Amino acid sequence: MSRPWNFSAGPSTLPKPVLEQAASEMLDWHGTGISVMEMSHRSRHFCQIRDEAEADLRELLALPDDYAVLFTTGGATTENAVIPMNLMRRHKELAIDFILTGYWSIRSFKEASRYGNVKVAASGGYSIRLDGAEQQPWTWTPPVQTWSVRQNASYLHMCSNETVDGVEITEWPVSLPRLKVKIPLVVDASSNFLSRPLPITNTGITFASAQKNAGAAGLTIVLVHRDLLGYSGINCPSSLNYTNIAKFRSCYNTPPAYSIYISGLVFKWIKNNGALENMEKQNRLKSNWLYSYIDSTEFYSNSVHHASRSRTNIPFRLYRKALHEPFIRGAKEARLIQLEGHRSIGGIRASLYNALPLSGVSALIEYMKDFEYRYG
Ligand SMILES: *Cc1c(COP(=O)(O)O)cnc(C)c1O
């Protein structure tokens, strides 16, 4: 039986060749007689898996050695606390500025407020209420020129792609406006990591949960400029201390070994399929196709401003709310799965990560046309 088209925002669809290779190596990895799950993380076999994963990732990103690659755990959510804990001794008091563009940057803002003095440098929301009550939908990203960053900010946090709201920051600042000192940019890139070439060298720290576009859950990838190492506060667990993780090449303690292996296979799959340039090309094609179809109807809608529309996560609604349930039910019957929007906002969301091919988008649009024909 063929696999369904999987539009999950995460954990999400993986490339079939990756799953096939993992399956074929499950019982016996490269003649060792054991699976990757069963080998010591100190063994030369696992070190080889880790080294290749890191080398392939560096090659894909053209990442210079000024940056450490950390394979860690806890997810992007944990990084919101781990980052301030790792930068604590760089400043008398942490002053953390934020660009708010949706659900995840708000979550990060709230978590960071437990560790430092936080301030909104720019926001794409109209009436933001941080208590989580009523909010306007997030539909745009404030242009870099309007960001008002404090002179003494310890770092500036942004989320490059809001997975829930479908809002993407396409232009990352090279240097922050109106500032003489260089303030590190910290980017949560969980859901557009590896979807296109990203200017990671503009940042102090870029981090991503693997289970969106880069592998399986359990692994968090952190790319940190080495200048930022060595400032962790006393409250930082040593297993989450970037300096330790970097020094022990992600094996200070047991890393999420199997997830590192899966991501390593994903990196090779991307390399074999035209690298990030081709991922970008495909993702542009797929998302343009779906957006143009949505815009052409009076049946479906996406309210995000064109320039801020995400290429990986596309939320949309039916104008007639009562048709939501039948839409989702019919989609499942047509083997188009996990299209439900995030529980915080509802609606529909199609995530078009690297492993979801053009033919999957075509199947979705065919279904949407047919549904409109039947109910419109
Ligand atoms: C999924 C996601 C997170 C949370 O990831 P966890 O692994 O659940 O902690 C944070 N930020 C963004 C942008 C995400 O897409």
Residue 256, ligand 1, Cβ within 6 A:
no
Residue 212, ligand 1, Cβ within 6 A:
yes
Point out the residues of the chain with pLDDT beneath 70: 126-136, 175-181
Ligand 1, atom nearest to 161 Cα: 13
Ligand 1, atom nearest to 211 Cα: 7
> Sign (positive/negative) of CA torsion 57, 158, 294, 4?
positive
**Is 104 marked active-site?**
yes
Catalytic site residue from 5, 172, 212, 269:
212
Helices (H), 273-357: 275-296, 324-333
Ligand 1, atom nearest to 164 Cα: 15
Residue 209, ligand 1, Cβ within 6 A:
yes
pTM of the model: 0.96
- pLDDT at site 175: 64
**Is 110 marked active-site?**
no
* Residues facing residue 205 across a β-bridge: 186, 224
Is the distance from CB of 214 to CB of 236 less than 8 angstroms?
Answer: no
Is the distance from CB of 215 to CB of 201 less than 8 angstroms?
Answer: no
- pLDDT at site 179: 46
User: pLDDT > 90: what percent of the chain?
Assistant: 91
Is the distance from CB of 288 to CB of 267 less than 8 angstroms?
Answer: no
